[in-house]
Amino acid sequence: MTNILLRAGHVTRRFGTFTAVDDVSMQVQPGEVVGLLGANGAGKTTLIRMLLGLIAVTSGRVDLLGGPPDRERRRRLGYVPQGLGLYGDLTVRENVSFSARAYGAAEPALPPALAGYAGVLVREVPLGAQRQVAFLAALAHSPEVLVLDEPTSGVDALARAALWDTIRGQAERGAGVLVTTHYMQEAQQCDRLLLMSDGRLVAEGSEADIIGSTTAIAVSTGDWARAFAALNAAGAPVMLAGRAIRVANADPAELAGVLSAAGIEASLQPVPATISERMLMLSRQARAS
C-alpha cells in the first residue's frame, strides 16, 4: 500500500534488558489525525524516535513514506517537538527563514498574529506565539507527514483552537498527522487514538472505543469530606468532581462496604469512565501483572 505515510510493523526496542516498545504495529494515512496517548514511560517517545529514524529498531520494521526513514524521506516530514526546537537568540523571522532554507522551501509570510513579532527574539515572544512560529517553521516545506509532541501545551483555549485549525488544515490538504498528547481535550480533536501502556499498544480507535464498557463509580453523599477520607484510606483511586466523588476502577459492592462501615450514607452509580480513568485502570493492571 503506497498511501500509508507512516507505518510500524511489530516494532520492538530494547535498552539493555528493558523493553521500551514491545511489538507495536500502527499506521498513519493521508488526511487523518492520529493521537498517541500513554502515561510517562509508556514508550511513546521511543516509538516516535524510531518512526523518525532517530534510533534503530531492535526488531520489526518502520516505513516512512514507503521506505526506511532516511535523510531523503525525512525532508518530507515536519516535526514540532515539545520544546519547540526554536532558536531563542534569533528573531521570529530569522527562525522561520533558517528553517525554510534548511528544507529548501520558500520563506513563508508571517501571519497577521505574528507580524508584530517579526523582529523580536523568540525567547521574548509569548508562548502561544512561539508555538505558532514552530508550526510555521515545520510547515513551510508542506510536509507529507507531520509529527507533533504536545502541540498546544500551556496555551489558552482560543490559541489552542487556532493551532488545531492549522493542524486540521494540514490533514485536509492530505498530510498524515501524528500527535502525542497528555491533554484529553486535545485527544478528542483527533480522528483516531492509539493508547500505549508499558511499551505495548493496548487500545486503538475512537474515544468511545478506548473507553469501551469501562465505568467509574459516582458517589453521591451529603458528607463528601468524610466519604472521601474513608474511600481514600481504603486505597480506592478516588477523585473529587465538584462536590461529587468519582472512583475509577472499583467494585461498587466493595465501596458500599467501606462507606457503610464508616457509617456514611451514599448512593453509588456506575458512570462512563473518562480516557484518563481508563488509562489509570490499564496502568494499575500492568503494575499488578
Partner 1 sequence: MTYSVRSATVRFGHVLALDDVTVEVPGGSVVAVVGGDGAGKTTLLRALAGEVPLDHGTVEAPPKQRLGYLPASPGSWAALTVTQNIDFVAGIYGLAGDELTARRAELLDRSSLTPAAGRLAAQLSGGMRRKLGFIMAIVHRPALLILDEPSTGIDPVSRIDLWRMASEAAASGAAVLMSTTYLDEAERAAHLVVLDSGRVLVQGSYDQVRAGFAGVITRTDEPVRAEWAWRRGRVLHEYWPRADPAAGTTVAPDLEDIVIALSLARRNAVRS
Applying CB under 8 A, the site for partner 1 has a residue count of 53
Q: Which stretch binds partner 1 (CB under 8 A): 19-27, 72-80, 149-157, 252-260?
A: 149-157
Q: Binding to partner 1 by residue 229, rule CB under 8 A?
A: yes
Q: Binding to partner 1 by residue 41, rule CB under 8 A?
A: yes
Where in 248-267 is the site for partner 1 (CB under 8 A)? 248
Q: Binding to partner 1 by residue 124, rule CB under 8 A?
A: no
Q: Binding to partner 1 by residue 31, rule CB under 8 A?
A: no
CB of 162 to partner 1, least distance (A): 8
CB of 42 to partner 1, least distance (A): 8
Q: Binding to partner 1 by residue 218, rule CB under 8 A?
A: no
Which CB sits closer to partner 1, 57 or 281?
A: 281
Nearest CA to 259 among 220, 231, 240, 217? 231
Of the residues 106, 158, 208, 253, which one makes contact with partner 1 according to CB under 8 A: 158
Of the residues 35, 38, 43, 143, which one makes contact with partner 1 according to CB under 8 A: 38
Q: Binding to partner 1 by residue 159, rule CB under 8 A?
A: yes
Nearest CA to 202 among 57, 42, 48, 63? 42
Residues that bind partner 1 (CB under 8 A): 37-42, 82, 126-128, 150, 153-162, 164-165, 168, 182-185, 188-191, 224-226, 228-229, 232, 237-243, 248, 274-277, 279-280, 283
